[in-house]
Structure 1
Amino acid sequence: MSSCAFSTCTLQNNELMCNKHLVQFKRNSISTDLSYPKMTWHNSTTCQQSGRRLQCKALNVENNNNYNFLKGNVFQLDDVIEAQQFDRQILSAIFEVAREMETIEKMSRGNQLLKGYLMATLFYEPSTRTRLSFESAMKRLGGEVLTTENAREFSSAAKGETLEDTIRTVEGYSDIIVMRHFESGAARRAAMTANIPVINAGDGPGQHPTQALLDVYTIEREIGKLDGIKVGLVGDLANGRTVRSLAYLLAKYNDVKIYFVSPEVVKMKDDIKEYLTSKGIKWEESADLMEVASKCDVVYQTRIQKERFGERIDLYDEARGKYIVNRDVLSVMQEHAVIMHPLPRLDEITVEVDGDPRAAYFRQAKNGLFIRMALLKLLLLGW
């Protein structure tokens, strides 16, 4: 995708104007029937000259105009790194593509939409659902997968190779990279290095944007709306990248209220609270799961993450088991409400809950396939 990484850009007479800088732009060199909106770019960017085209990377995009997502148009984002990249309009359009992917998955086992494309999965941390759903998504659309499940131990990283060198090497073998890393900010580093799309599949305690996308998609499918909802985020809120990313996306919607329910040692960090306040989102901390569950449309439970505590096992033991979703919690929940969990779970949701129709976490996991199919299609082919 050709774009410009200055502060503001507008397309005027086939020329992309960025502040007082001028970048030549030829529509027919990329796609037909393009209509680029005015955009504002944020955070780190890089530009690289390639022949007669200037290729730039930008990680955060805010769309300032109404924009029609027409088939054949390029996707607005080069990479998927953090939840702040998305606005409501893009989210709605992605969800529409995801619904198309549901139809493809149900009606056809031989779709060839991404035939000839290769996806590399670099996972420096253990994963089951995320890695397999990305690989399934690629194969459902006819693409192929190059995978390394434990890159931290079984790749050249174990020999001391830098992340940047790994990315430069892997991009020579593939068309898109999906990466999970143990360090917050690693996905951004990868995206700034690569000349192909990079998807953040979780970077330490940082973010997990594709999980947040599937979570919001699930809420819309289960509750029927996103404006005016009440969501209880429960469990490890300090280290949980899923709840951090979800909070960023929920802030896009109107009249949302978020309740934070967690042990003291893993409370939600101030940066998320300050962000929500800046966006006019009401939030409240509570120690009473039963009270919160009785008010909420969504109870989003998370695992207390032992791996984030290091040697402080005493703190882990203090936090684990304090808030458990069980039949007692179900008894106070509203009939339309749902229970969600990014999985894997330990004992924070009892198995007796699984049979209740409000237990949405396995449907939530399946929705991850459709969202990731949509993202692969959009990043590689556009709308």
Structure 2
Amino acid sequence: MTAFPLEHVVESQQFDRDLLETVFRTADRMKADLAGKRSLAKSLDGKIMASLFYESSTRTRFSFESAMLRLGGSVITTENAREFSSAAKGESLSDSIRIMNGYADVIVMRHNEAGSAVRAAEVSAIPVINAGDGAGQHPTQALLDMYTIVDAFQRLENLKIAMVGDLRYGRTVRSLSYLLTKYANVELIFVSPQVCKMEKDIKDYLEKNNVPWREESDLSLVAPEVDCIYMTRIQKERFHSVDDYQAAASKYILSLDCVETMKKDAIIMHPLPRVDEIPKEVDSDPRARYFEQAQNGLYIRMALLYLLLQKN
């Protein structure tokens, strides 16, 4: 196997098509090996992952920890590093990362500040994986999103995707937008409240890479034309104004009536957790892929840990 070229995984822009294919092929292998209970069980035996989470998480934290354990490695963890680490005493992020370098072989970090993963990687001699940095990026979520899309359509080209909800603070849609520029004939439609529109940096990046995009306000008009609706939660914790949050909350809900207008082979995605933007009665529709999407996080994160640590 060709050596994995990345030392850290901190942003989606690090991945080109060849690297994406490497990750996806490795994830396929992980999925098959788990199903057949085959050869990867001890591939990271003796390796230790530090799970350093300054923000709450269920899927990302547990899928990373499960991934490491299934590969035969070990985990040291804190679920609230802002309170239960030396950060509570004023220790800087760079000092914390340097200390963790002596205890672990890889650091998986979620932090409340955009750009924190890049800063951590700059001082770390062991791999740092960005598990979400504030309203910045969430590259491993974007990878599992792409893996889910290619599984559904057997391609990543010639797709029209609607991103709905909190696009301003939504790190998942930002990271996914970067990766989608790698493929031909992809069109993005942004559907959001006025206070949650996609930021200019992403729009500029799409234009630089010749990816068409447009903004719409009516989800019901968009639903019949797209191949994928990617719903997101309005993130109350990211808003600086209660009025802005209340103006955005519950504005876009993917009702059963709306789902019925979608293409038969379209898919519905969501990074989860959800609040009310996808009613539970939609879960039984075959187009709903968000629980499968979450499961794919295990295979993608197993693949990344394997690729990063096999060379070290």
TM-score by length of 2: 0.98
CA contact (8 A) 1:82 1:209 kept: yes
Give the aligned partner of residue 153 of structure 1: 83
Q: Shift in Å at residue 382 of structure 1?
A: 4.4
Measure, in 2, the Cα distance between the counterparts of 1:123 and 1:353. Answer: 31
SS at match of 1:89: helix
Letter in 2 for 1:365: A
More strand per residue: 1
Letter in 2 for 1:160: G
Structure 1 segments of 4+ aligned residues over 3 angstroms from their partners: none
Q: Shift in Å at residue 190 of structure 1?
A: 0.5
Q: Shift in Å at residue 216 of structure 1?
A: 0.4
2:270 counterpart of 1:341: yes
Show the 5 A alignment for 1:213-252.
213-252=143-182
Give the aligned partner of residue 98 of structure 1: 27
SS at match of 1:374: helix
Measure, in 2, the Cα distance between the counterparts of 1:244 and 1:164. Answer: 25
The number of equivalent residue pairs is 311
Give the aligned partner of residue 197 of structure 1: 127
Q: Shift in Å at residue 314 of structure 1?
A: 1.5
2:232 counterpart of 1:308: no
Measure, in 2, the Cα distance between the counterparts of 1:173 and 1:273. Answer: 41
Give the aligned partner of residue 112 of structure 2: 182
CA contact (8 A) 1:223 1:297 kept: no
Measure, in 2, the Cα distance between the counterparts of 1:90 and 1:213. Answer: 11
- Whichever of the two has the greater Rg, that structure is 1
**What residue ranges of structure 2 are gaps of 5+ in the alignment?**
none
RMSD (Å) for aligned C-alpha atoms? 1.1
Q: CA-to-partner distance for each residue in 1:4-35, whole Å, 9 max, x for gaps?
A: xxxxxxxxxxxxxxxxxxxxxxxxxxxxxxxx
- Percent identical: 59
CA contact (8 A) 1:80 1:198 kept: yes
Letter in 2 for 1:344: P
Give the aligned partner of residue 36 of structure 1: none
Q: Shift in Å at residue 103 of structure 1?
A: 1.1
Show the 5 A alignment for 1:323-334.
323-334=252-263
Show the 5 A alignment for 1:259-338.
259-310=189-240, 312-338=241-267
Measure, in 2, the Cα distance between the counterparts of 1:316 and 1:382. Answer: 46
SS at match of 1:211: helix
Q: CA-to-partner distance for each residue in 1:112-171, whole Å, 9 max, x for gaps?
A: 011100000100000000000000000011000000000011100000000011000011
Measure, in 1, the Cα distance between the counterparts of 2:239 and 2:214. Answer: 25
Q: Shift in Å at residue 225 of structure 1?
A: 1.1
Q: Shift in Å at residue 105 of structure 1?
A: 1.6
TM-score by length of 1: 0.80
Letter in 1 for 2:176: L
2:288 counterpart of 1:350: no
**What residue ranges of structure 1 are gaps of 5+ in the alignment?**
1-70
Measure, in 1, the Cα distance between the counterparts of 2:78 and 2:106. Answer: 14
SS at match of 2:285: coil
Measure, in 1, the Cα distance between the counterparts of 2:254 and 2:18. Answer: 34
Q: Shift in Å at residue 185 of structure 1?
A: 0.5
SS at match of 2:214: strand
More helix per residue: 2
